[in-house]
């Protein structure tokens, strides 16, 4: 399921070049605030937890667990023709939850399953952070 | 400065569900005309105007000219499907503050005439939503985002697909006696479960209809309400909230109603148990379950059982909900439909709902709107409405 997922190029914002450049090196960066020591998603220069200006990026271990998921039967846009694919929320071990695709998952995918990040290259200067079951070693596609 | 009560004195829902050959502006104007006529007022009486992102052009400014009104107060708060209820609350506050006397709220749209197949809102260049680059690439359609809430609710509380279906079953029973409803066929739990899967666990019949049309309401100060012939409906309390997952703490089974509801009930001086009718935003069946819990009509995790036992079915369920058939079976104009939630609550309090679903002595009602997307970011607005005398 989802073996041939499209990898749409994100519309990279002016402050996000560093984040997306890291994805090309297989690194997932999160927003991080040195004042309140909080990781947050998605990255931005303002810490949404405490209001400190000048938050930075900090690398995630790329591991987490599934907190919810859905098998999408009716995709739209680039996903219109791909068949069933999985959208889910992953809660990273650092704390934040992010919206992503779950790939290489079996039919008995469950909330609570451990997952690890993989990066799928887009046509632009970015790779998409998706997640696959963590029991097997992660790889880049 | 005065502090005056505000009353809904006019309400109009466009009877059509498909409007080929029409402009969005003209549908806004037609529903405005209908609501003002219902109130016994004219466009020249309007001194405040409220519309959201479904209004064409430059919003309230374009529409004020089209309608020929000269408002001294405008509000274009854009919170999706909760916007009309927010507008009603804001109008009541402006009236209380003496800033206007006759407020007009409109919603209209023609999604059935659109050929667009995008799955999220599109913004002008440079004005993209800041989250877009981090979410758009993953194909999370709107039903998928609501499905994430449904799956999590099942996981946490044991809610079933049949529980979700019970919301649609109740809506379809109400729509069956609404001659204007988009879908007038009564459906069973089995039929919901056998309908096509859209984003599991949500089936096609867990999703609202797509309709053209719209609606409008007129809100006025107390002294004006007294001069009008129609039954006035008092705005007793209002609350809003803007839940989101900023910082990564994504709300999956919690909703803005948990905040907007108590704010509205406290202002009105009533409790959820006092409410006789509720219009609850029903973009998807899961939206209703989460909102029932959020507003305090049942305990967290108990909404599945609540609806399974037939609570939503009028006129004798514990809490009749969406007696017009709701967005699930009747009408969801402009893909947001929040105005219909106010209109049916007004009908119930006036005693003008369809007779088979009219709640006896309905003197206290709630209308709740949910805008945007559950599980990412949403608007929530709750209003408590009461009968007079
Ligand atoms: Zn901070």
Contact call for residues B214 and B31 (beta carbons, < 8 A): yes
Fold observed for domain B141-208+236-387: Peroxisomal Thiolase; Chain A, domain 1 (3.40.47)
- pLDDT at residue number A1: 47
| pLDDT tens digit sequence for B151-163 | 999 999 999 999 9
Interface of A with B in 16-35 (CB under 8 A): 16, 30
**CA–CA dist B364, B45 (Å, integer):** 28
In this complex, is the C-beta atom of A72 within 8 Å of any C-beta atom belonging to chain B?
A: yes
pLDDT > 80? residue A138: no
Helical residues (DSSP H) of chain A, grouped into ranges: 17-24
- Most A CBs within 10 A among B138, B153, B157, hence the mutation to make, goes to B138
Mean pLDDT, rounded, of chain A: 93
Residues in chain B with pLDDT values less than 50: 1-2
- The answer to whether the CB atoms of B196 and A38 lie below 8 A apart is no
- pLDDT at residue number A36: 96
- The answer to whether the CB atoms of B136 and A10 lie below 8 A apart is yes
Residue A12 — very low, low, confident or very high, per pLDDT cuts 50/70/90? very high
pLDDT > 80? residue A140: no
Interface of A with B in 83-122 (CB under 8 A): 85, 87-89, 91-92, 95-101, 111, 122
- Most A CBs within 10 A among B123, B125, B128, B134, hence the mutation to make, goes to B134
- CATH number for region A17-133: 2.40.50.840
Q: How many helices (H) and strands (E) does chain A have?
A: 1, 8
Q: Which of B138, B141, B250 sits opposite A97 (nearest CB)?
A: B250
- pLDDT at residue number B117: 62
Q: How many CB atoms lie within 10 A of CB B88?
A: 28
By the 10 Å C-beta count (0-12 exposed, 13-18 middle, 19+ buried), B155 is classed as middle
User: How close B195 comes to chain A (CA, Å)?
Assistant: 12
Fold observed for domain B6-112+212-234: Peroxisomal Thiolase; Chain A, domain 1 (3.40.47)
Residues of A in contact with B151 (CB under 8 A): 68-70, 111
- pLDDT at residue number A141: 44
Residues of A in contact with B249 (CB under 8 A): 96-97
User: How close B205 comes to chain A (CA, Å)?
Assistant: 14
Structure tokens at A80: 């219109």
Fill in the DSSP letter of residue B320.
-
- The answer to whether the CB atoms of A99 and B130 lie below 8 A apart is no
Phi first, then psi: what are they for B356, rounded to 5°?
-65, -20
Tell me the CA distances in angstroms from B174 to B179, B185, B321, B357, one per residue in order: 10, 10, 9, 7
- The answer to whether the CB atoms of B133 and A16 lie below 8 A apart is yes
Listed in sequence order, the residues at least 6 apart from B124 whose beta carbon sits closer than 8 Å to its beta carbon are none
Search chain A and give the residue with CA nearest B244. Answer: A48
- The answer to whether the CB atoms of A128 and B132 lie below 8 A apart is no
Residues of B in contact with A91 (CB under 8 A): 248
pTM across the whole model: 0.96
- The answer to whether the CB atoms of A101 and B138 lie below 8 A apart is yes
Select from B378, B360, B17 the least CA-distant residue to B175: B17
- The answer to whether the CB atoms of B136 and A42 lie below 8 A apart is no
Tell me the CA distances in angstroms from A8 to A11, A124, A128, B137, B351, one per residue in order: 9, 9, 8, 5, 53
Contact call for residues B168 and B288 (beta carbons, < 8 A): no
| pLDDT tens digit sequence for A26-62 | 999 999 999 999 999 999 999 999 999 999 999 999 9
In this complex, is the C-beta atom of A80 within 8 Å of any C-beta atom belonging to chain B?
A: yes
Residues of B in contact with A39 (CB under 8 A): 248
In this complex, is the C-beta atom of A68 within 8 Å of any C-beta atom belonging to chain B?
A: yes
| pLDDT tens digit sequence for B196-233 | 999 999 999 999 999 999 999 999 999 999 999 999 99
- pLDDT at residue number B251: 83
Residues of B in contact with A85 (CB under 8 A): 139
Fill in the DSSP letter of residue B335.
T
Helical residues (DSSP H) of chain B, grouped into ranges: 24-39, 60-67, 83-96, 132-135, 142-157, 161-175, 189-194, 222-226, 257-268, 285-294, 303-308, 338-350
- Most A CBs within 10 A among B124, B151, B248, B253, hence the mutation to make, goes to B248
Beta-carbon contacts below 8 Å between A and B: 135
**CA–CA dist B326, B168 (Å, integer):** 9
A50 Cα–ligand 1 center, Å: 4
- pLDDT at residue number B248: 61
Tell me the CA distances in angstroms from A98 to A21, A129, B6, one per residue in order: 19, 10, 43
Q: What ipTM score was computed for the predicted complex, to two decimals?
A: 0.94
Contact call for residues B79 and B86 (beta carbons, < 8 A): yes
Tell me the CA distances in angstroms from A35 to A32, A46, A56, one per residue in order: 9, 11, 11
The boundaries of every CATH 3.40.47.10 domain in chain B are 6-112+212-234, 141-208+236-387
A31 Cα–ligand 1 center, Å: 10
A118 Cα–ligand 1 center, Å: 28
Torsion of CA B16, B17, B19, B22, to 10 degrees: 80
HSE toward the beta carbon, residue A120, CA cutoff 13 A: 21
Select from B76, B63, B10 the least CA-distant residue to B217: B10
Tell me the CA distances in angstroms from B216 to A44, B89, B269, B341, B354, one per residue in order: 39, 14, 27, 11, 19
**Rounded mean pLDDT, A112-141:** 87
**CA–CA dist B343, B161 (Å, integer):** 29
Listed in sequence order, the residues at least 6 apart from B254 whose beta carbon sits closer than 8 Å to its beta carbon are B243, B290, B294
- Most B CBs within 10 A among A1, A23, A68, A119, hence the mutation to make, goes to A68
Contact call for residues A141 and A3 (beta carbons, < 8 A): no
Listed in sequence order, the residues at least 6 apart from B154 whose beta carbon sits closer than 8 Å to its beta carbon are B160, B201
By the 10 Å C-beta count (0-12 exposed, 13-18 middle, 19+ buried), B115 is classed as exposed
A129 Cα–ligand 1 center, Å: 24
Q: How many CB atoms lie within 10 A of CB B181?
A: 23
Tell me the CA distances in angstroms from B11 to A75, A107, B296, B354, one per residue in order: 37, 49, 27, 15
A56 Cα–ligand 1 center, Å: 10
């Amino acid at each position: 399921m989802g073996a041939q997922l499209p990898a749409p190029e994100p519309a990279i914002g002016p402050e996000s070049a560093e984040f997306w450049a890291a994805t090309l090196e297989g690194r997932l960066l999160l927003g991080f605030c040195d004042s309140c020591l909080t990781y947050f998603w998605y990255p931005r220069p303002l810490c949404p937890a405490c209001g400190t200006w000048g938050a930075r990026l900090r690398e995630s271990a790329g591991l987490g667990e599934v907190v919810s998921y859905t098998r999408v039967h009716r995709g739209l846009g680039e996903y219109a023709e791909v068949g069933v694919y999985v959208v889910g929320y992953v809660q990273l071990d650092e704390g934040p939850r992010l919206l992503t695709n779950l790939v290489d998952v079996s039919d008995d995918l469950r909330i609570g399953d451990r997952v690890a990040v993989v990066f799928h290259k887009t046509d632009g200067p970015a790779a998409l952070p998706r997640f696959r079951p963590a029991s097997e070693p992660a790889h880049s596609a | 400065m005065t502090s005056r009560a505000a009353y809904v004195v006019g309400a109009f829902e466009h009877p059509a569900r498909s409007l080929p050959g029409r402009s969005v502006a003209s549908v806004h104007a037609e529903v405005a005309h209908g609501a003002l006529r219902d109130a016994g007022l004219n466009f020249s009486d309007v001194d405040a105007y409220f519309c959201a992102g479904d209004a064409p052009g430059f919003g309230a400014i374009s529409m004020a000219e089209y309608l020929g009104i000269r408002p001294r107060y405008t509000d274009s708060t854009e919170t999706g499907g909760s916007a009309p209820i927010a507008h009603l609350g804001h109008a009541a506050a402006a009236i209380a503050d003496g800033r206007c006397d006759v407020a007009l709220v409109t919603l209209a749209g023609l999604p059935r005439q659109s050929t667009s197949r995008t799955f999220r809102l599109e913004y002008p260049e440079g004005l993209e939503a800041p989250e877009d680059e981090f979410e758009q690439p993953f194909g999370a359609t709107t039903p998928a985002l609501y499905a994430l809430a449904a799956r999590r609710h099942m996981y946490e509380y044991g809610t079933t697909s049949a529980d979700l279906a019970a919301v649609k079953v109740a809506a379809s029973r109400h729509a069956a006696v609404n001659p204007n409803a988009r879908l007038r066929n009564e459906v069973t739990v089995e039929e919901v479960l056998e309908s096509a899967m859209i984003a599991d666990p949500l089936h096609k019949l867990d999703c609202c209809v797509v309709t053209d049309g719209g609606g409008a309401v007129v809100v006025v100060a107390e002294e004006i309400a007294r001069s009008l012939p129609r039954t006035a409906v008092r705005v007793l309390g209002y609350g809003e909230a803007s839940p989101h997952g900023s910082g990564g703490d994504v709300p999956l089974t919690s909703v803005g109603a948990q905040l907007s509801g108590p704010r509205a009930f406290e202002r009105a001086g009533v409790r959820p148990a006092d409410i006789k009718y509720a219009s609850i935003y029903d973009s998807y069946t899961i939206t209703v379950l989460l909102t029932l819990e959020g507003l305090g009509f049942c305990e967290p995790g108990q909404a599945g059982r609540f609806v399974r036992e037939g609570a939503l079915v009028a006129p004798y369920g514990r809490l009749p909900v969406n007696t017009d058939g709701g967005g699930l079976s009747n009408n969801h104009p402009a893909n947001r439909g929040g105005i219909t939630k106010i209109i049916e609550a007004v009908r119930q309090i006036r005693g003008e709902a369809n007779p088979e679903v009219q709640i006896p002595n309905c003197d206290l009602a709630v209308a709740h709107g949910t805008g945007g997307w559950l599980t990412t970011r949403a608007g929530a607005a709750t209003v408590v409405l009461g009968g007079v005398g």
